[in-house]
Structure 1
């Protein structure tokens, strides 16, 4: 996957969401950041150091969790966690024990016996047990059940509150929405939008469900209204962000008896970017 002018900046105490369909360039970007691939042009700096030339120094301050974790089959989960934590020069046993309990992992089992979800748990416990400054998480909850996803989310927020930086690549949009301060959307190797969720929501639509005293006529002709559907005696439709005020004034003439509004989700925003692009999530 060729990257084209990708610009990402992750600040201290910030969770940056990195989203895009499979094949968009997320993992390639992360490999460049980790110093596994060398960028043919441009500048990649982490902590002010060159990601390729100074990879060894940088890795002492990074924790990385891939989406598909491979572990040494003959080591136990506990031994793998200890190995990774010691490589980063930290040895906080109480934190390790706390996370093993939270993630409900049996650390005495050999890694060959672990399910995909348990392998992810080993990597996450190792990452959050170490005192890293930057966490690079590439589809980290792959294989975890919903309860463990919540434990993961708590760990991310703890790291954020401690002033750490987190780059979270995910296709679970609800996860990104809950955790991220800013989001970058990548498509075909290019960052096409970046900003806070509030800043990006101008790109999408608000969902409305409206019931009126008088029949709501000619709604389809009102600028900014899309996807009208009848639901019992109510109408459900979407409204472009910038036309919301104008649409509300129009429908209020008919005497509103019921009004439900749902804010646009990241999923709405994402799907509009990829409409007709043939990119699977």
Structure 2
């Protein structure tokens, strides 16, 4: 098997609206592949075709060497899936629900299930309907991982999780790769993909607008910067930073005894930092902008969402 996932010319229409346009995607076995894009980019539509929840209008899809439309339960047992809109209800406890899932997904180690629950911090003795959104999401993750499937397909898997649990989840994803499993991870959180993925595709308006290894793409090259400085002359400060390549949306304002500078920096940040070094820095915050803004800034009009695909 040369690819764990092969998508060729995938096209999906809902009435007059096209959600995915002639998409090609190939995921190598034993790797983490990130599928990233703004909400409405077509990520969920693409992932649902892989588990035969929806069927393509045209194109070819093969998962673990099989057509999802014909693989049936035998193929599904080889996959761990977390849907983008996980809904878990019922009076049963987490233990009972996972026991039910284990009957359909194949052999499951109770010890491993308990280990996953401990790592994610969820009480499986409580009724599922009484759990918070985040704890329901944890049960969804456990059911995907607990049978150690060949392929994990995870659609926005950290939704509702606190930062510490998100970090533990990313560790679980890396461990899965080390064990030889393949992971297709869909997210609109740029940092998740940067920390884990071997390769990534940027999806927008149902099309792939960039694809390759994480290092080769410019996904992390746009930053928002906020700085508080012990400086006296706002006009001089503004002039100094205006000439730096890649600095846009520059604003300088006085707040008390300090000057506050905000800017967007695209590309290398070293010239910006060297300009800052000429002043006394009281505070510095660097953050990634909204993903949709990043995609539009980096990849232009081709990335603009058309019609609200999912």
**TM range, normalised to the smaller chain?**
0.7 to 0.9
Aligned to 1:160: 177
Aligned to 1:190: 207
Aligned to 2:131: 114
- Distance in 2 between the 1:104 and 1:207 partners? 33
Aligned with residue 250 of structure 2, among 217, 224, 228 = 228
Aligned with residue 63 of structure 1, among 80, 96, 107 = 80
Aligned to 2:112: 95
SS in 2 for 1:226: strand
- Distance in 1 between the 2:107 and 2:151 partners? 15
- Distance in 2 between the 1:264 and 1:98 partners? 34
- Distance in 2 between the 1:144 and 1:10 partners? 27
Displacement of 1:55 in angstroms is 3.9
Aligned with residue 80 of structure 1, among 97, 102, 124 = 97
CA RMSD of aligned residues (A): 3.6
Give the unaligned 5+ runs of structure 2: 1-17, 231-235
SS in 2 for 1:143: coil
Q: 1:218 to 1:12 in 2, by over 3 A?
A: same
**Residue deviations 1:45-88, cap 9 Å, x none?**
11121122224332121000123322350321111112222322
Q: Are the aligned partners of 2:41 and 2:305 in contact in 1 as well (CA < 8 Å)?
A: no
- Distance in 1 between the 2:87 and 2:98 partners? 13
Aligned to 1:7: 24
Displacement of 1:20 in angstroms is 1.8
Q: 1:11 to 1:80 in 2, by over 3 A?
A: same
Report which stretch shifted further, 160-169 or 70-79: 70-79
Aligned to 2:296: 274
- Distance in 2 between the 1:201 and 1:188 partners? 19
**Residue deviations 1:233-261, cap 9 Å, x none?**
8977555538x89x69xx98x99647999
Aligned to 2:34: 17
**Residue deviations 1:103-149, cap 9 Å, x none?**
22222222222221121111111211112011011111212222222
- Distance in 2 between the 1:194 and 1:44 partners? 18
- The alignment's TM-score, normalised by the length of structure 1, stands at 0.80
Q: Are the aligned partners of 1:82 and 1:126 in contact in 2 as well (CA < 8 Å)?
A: no
- Distance in 2 between the 1:108 and 1:202 partners? 42
Q: Are the aligned partners of 1:201 and 1:269 in contact in 2 as well (CA < 8 Å)?
A: no
The total of aligned residue pairs comes to: 274
- Distance in 2 between the 1:274 and 1:54 partners? 38
SS in 1 for 2:21: coil
Q: Are the aligned partners of 2:204 and 2:305 in contact in 1 as well (CA < 8 Å)?
A: no
Report which stretch shifted further, 173-182 or 57-66: 173-182
Q: Does 1:241 align with 2:267?
A: yes
- The alignment's TM-score, normalised by the length of structure 2, stands at 0.73
- Distance in 1 between the 2:276 and 2:196 partners? 39
Aligned with residue 129 of structure 1, among 139, 146, 158 = 146
SS in 2 for 1:83: helix
Q: Are the aligned partners of 1:81 and 1:123 in contact in 2 as well (CA < 8 Å)?
A: no
